[in-house]
Amino acid sequence: MSTVPGFLLDRVTVTRGPTRLLDGVCARLPAGACTAVVGPSGAGKSTLLRLLNRLEDPSTGQILLNSTPLAELEVLALRRRVGLVAQQPVLLTNHVAEELRVGRAELTEHRIQHLLDLVGLPARFAQRRTSGLSGGEAQRVCLARTLAVEPEVLLLDEPTAALDAVTTAVITEAARNHTAAGGTVILVSHDLPLVRGIAEHVLVLHHGRLVAHGHPDHIDYLEAG
Ligand SMILES: Nc1ncnc2c1ncn2[C@@H]1O[C@H](COP(=O)(O)OP(=O)(O)OP(=O)(O)O)[C@@H](O)[C@H]1O
């Protein structure tokens, strides 16, 4: 097998009972770029994303990261390299500063201030209780918590769905900054203007199958949106 930077999906199938959520998907998700995964509801987009940090495993086929099978990597170590920002923010602690230290206990005050700044939250938010945050603020804290671990890959699962314009702009900027710094972004989104704005590469799924891939300018699915 040749060395392929980024993820390589090799005939990946995911079955649940009689249902094929993904069906023989072969794809490359290049390192250092933003790849968007698009397609209609139920196409298997979130399932694909969840495979990339092993929240799920393929039923058959395999996934390689920089030519190493994910199955050979220790799961927690993989999740530090491949950070997920989910559609619904899930906060795990009572205070924002504590939340940012979930994956990196030694985070300094200075670094916490920097992370809050990156996600457009004022410094005083470090002392805020997580229970009082708005949906957009909670999503930005989740993004900061993921960035705190400095993952090489950022998985964004519908991160801007039903959020305010400021939060959407912050997440878009974070995705751009991540690839500009050499990192990899995999974005699942129904927001086709967002996809056109930040993705260099698009995968189109339909009924669990990869039906098109390439540059956003050459993807009919984006034109229809
Ligand atoms: N555990 C499961 N058992 C059976 N079917 C499942 C299971 N998990 C997901 N599905 C189904 O698999 C299909 C793919 O789900 P997935 O969440 O990956 O789609 P999606 O493309 O992300 O959809 P959306 O855009 O609506 O979020 C859906 O039809 C879903 O209902």
Express each pLDDT in 55-72 by its tens digit.
999 999 999 999 999 999
Q: For residue 189, how far is its CA from the centre of ligand 1 (angstroms)?
A: 14
> Global pTM?
0.92
Superfamily of domain 6-224: P-loop containing nucleotide triphosphate hydrolases (3.40.50.300)
Q: Is 41 in the pocket of ligand 1 (CB under 6 A)?
A: yes
Pocket test of ligand 1: the residue of 22, 38, 46 to mutate, having most ligand atoms within 8 Å of its CB, is 46
Question: Token pair of 172, please?
Answer: 């878009």
Neighbours of 135 (CB within 10 A): 13
Pocket test of ligand 1: the residue of 14, 19, 211 to mutate, having most ligand atoms within 8 Å of its CB, is 19
ipTM for this model: 0.93
* Helix, strand or coil, per DSSP, at residue 133: coil
Q: Band the pLDDT of 83: cuts 50, 70, 90.
A: very high
Q: Band the pLDDT of 22: cuts 50, 70, 90.
A: very high
Please report, for the chain, the start and end positions of each structural domain, with discontinuous segments joined by +. 6-224
Considering only residues 222 and 191, tell me which one the structure prediction assigns the higher pLDDT.
191
Ligand 1, atom 13: nearest CA belongs to which residue? 42
Q: Band the pLDDT of 2: cuts 50, 70, 90.
A: very low
